[in-house]
Amino acid sequence: MRPVKRVSVLGSTGSIGRQTLDVIRDCSDQFEAVALTAFKNTDALKRQAEEFGVKSIAVMDEGAGRRSGVPCGMRAIIDAATHPDADIVVIAVAGVIGLLPTLAAIEAGKSIALASKEVLVAAGEVVMPKIREKNIALTPIDSEHSAVFQCMQGIKEEDVKRIILTASGGPFRGKKTEDLREITQEQALQHPTWRMGGKITIDSATLMNKGLEVIEAKWLFNLEADQVDVVIHPQSIVHSMVETKDGSVISQMGWPNMRLPILYALAHPDRTPNNLPQWNPASTPVMTFEEPDVATFRCLPMAYEALKQGGTMPCVLNAANEVAANGFLEGRCGFLEIAEIVEKVMEKHRPAKVDLDSLLATDKWARATARSLMSV
C-alpha cells in the first residue's frame, strides 16, 4: 500500500481547488489535505477546513482575513505553501499571485502540482531553473499540459519534434471580428465543453488561454516557440499530442473532466483506479481538427510574439490580459478591447532581462498601464 500523500491546496475555493478536494475526498486512502487557502471566500474555506479536518488555512485578502479571524496576506499563503507536513503543493490560485508561494514551496523542497499557468508564463525563466536546481517534481494540472506530460513519458527529449496543443475554440468558434463587437459577459461565459472559473473562461473565448499555454509549454517541456502548435478540436477529447522526429504522433484522450489530470498530477508516477466516466472510441465517432483563426482571435498570435521577444514581455502580456479580462467581467471594457488593451501595453514595453525583482516591477507597471487604458 502506497503511503498517503499530504497536500496543500492553494486556491481551494476555486474551480480547480474544489475539484482537487473532490479527488482527495474520493481517494482519502491516498491523499490528505493539510493546508487550504483562498483569495477572500472565508466562509467556503472554513467549511472545507471543517470537512477535511484541516487546521492550517489562509486568505490572500487582508480585509476578509481580519473580518473573519483567518490568517491573511502573502506571508500566510506562503506559510501554507511551505507547510511542514505537506508533500505536494497544488498551485491553483488565479493569476500571478501564485508566483511567490510557488518559489517558496520549491525552496522548501515540496513537489509542485501546477494549475496556475501564469506562474510559468510570467516567470518561467526564474521558476524552472529553481525546479532543476532543487530537483523538484513538477506535474502540470492543465489538461493540455497533463496530456503532453503523459505522452512524453518514455520519449527522449531530443526525439520530440513538436507538441500540438488542442483547443475547443471556445463559444465563438467560426465567428469573425464584426460578430464579436457586442458580445456580452453571459455569452462569453458559455463555454461549449468545459466548466471553469470566470477569468479562464474569458481567456478561452479570446484564445488567450491557448496563448498562455503555448508559453507555459515552452518552459515545462524545454521547447522553442516553433515546436509548439495549436489546433482547434471542438470535441475536446484529444487533450494534446506529441509528434516525434520519426513522424509518429502520440495523443492522450478522454472526456473533458479536470479531475483526471488532477488525480494524475497528485499520484504521479502511479496510476490510480477511479470512478470517473470512462471514454471509449464509439462514444465520439467523429472528431475534427482545424487551424485557429488568428486574424479574428488576435490574442493567440500576440502570445507567440511575446514569447519571441522574450525577457519580461510574457510577463507584460499576462498582466495586461489579467486586468483586461477581469475588466470585461466587471463591465469596464468590451470583449474586443481585451486584445486591444494587451496589444497597446505590449507596444509600450521594452523587454528587460528577467529576475524576480524585474518581473515583480514589470507586472505592477503592466497592470497599472492596462487599467489606465480601460474605456470605463
DSSP annotation string for 55-109: -EEEES-HHHHHHHT--BSHHHHHHHHT-TT-SEEEE--SSGGGHHHHHHHHHTT
Q: What is the mean pLDDT of residues 275-280?
A: 92
**What is the residue extent of each domain of the chain?**
5-116, 146-371
pLDDT for 338: 97
**Cell 503543493 found at:** 89
Q: Please determine, for residue 195, whether its predicted confidence score (pLDDT) is greater than 80.
A: no
What are the tens digits of pLDDT across the range 147-156? Answer: 999 999 989 9
pLDDT for 72: 97
Sheet holding 160-167, edge to edge: 228-232, 160-167, 238-244, 249-253
Q: What is the largest CA-CA distance in the chain?
A: 60
Radius of gyration of the chain (CA): 20
pLDDT for 376: 58
pTM of the predicted protein model:
0.94
Residue 158 DSSP class: G
Sheet holding 111-114, edge to edge: 56-59, 31-38, 5-10, 88-91, 111-114, 138-140
Asked whether the beta carbons of 239 and 143 are under 8 A apart, the reply is yes
**197 pLDDT tier (thresholds 50, 70, 90):** confident
Distances (CA, A) of 166 to 53, 118, 207: 38, 19, 11
Distances (CA, A) of 52 to 24, 66, 78, 202, 373: 9, 23, 20, 32, 44
What are the tens digits of pLDDT across the range 129-138? Answer: 999 999 999 9
Asked whether the beta carbons of 201 and 188 are under 8 A apart, the reply is yes
pLDDT for 374: 85
**79 pLDDT tier (thresholds 50, 70, 90):** very high
Q: What is the mean pLDDT of residues 71-94?
A: 97
Q: Please determine, for residue 159, whether its predicted confidence score (pLDDT) is greater than 70.
A: yes
Which CATH architecture does the domain made up of 146-371 adopt? Orthogonal Bundle (1.10)
Q: Please determine, for residue 123, whether its predicted confidence score (pLDDT) is greater than 90.
A: yes
Q: Please determine, for residue 244, whether its predicted confidence score (pLDDT) is greater than 80.
A: yes
**216 pLDDT tier (thresholds 50, 70, 90):** very high
Q: What is the mean pLDDT of the chain?
A: 95
Q: Please determine, for residue 323, whether its predicted confidence score (pLDDT) is greater than 90.
A: yes
Q: Dihedral, CA atoms, 49, 96, 77, 80, nearest 10 degrees? A: 70
What are the tens digits of pLDDT across the range 160-179? Answer: 999 999 999 999 999 999 99
Which CATH architecture does the domain made up of 5-116 adopt? 3-Layer(aba) Sandwich (3.40)
Q: Please determine, for residue 1, whether its predicted confidence score (pLDDT) is greater than 70.
A: no
- Distance CA(232)–CA(227), nearest Å, equals 17
The helix/strand/coil state of 250 is strand
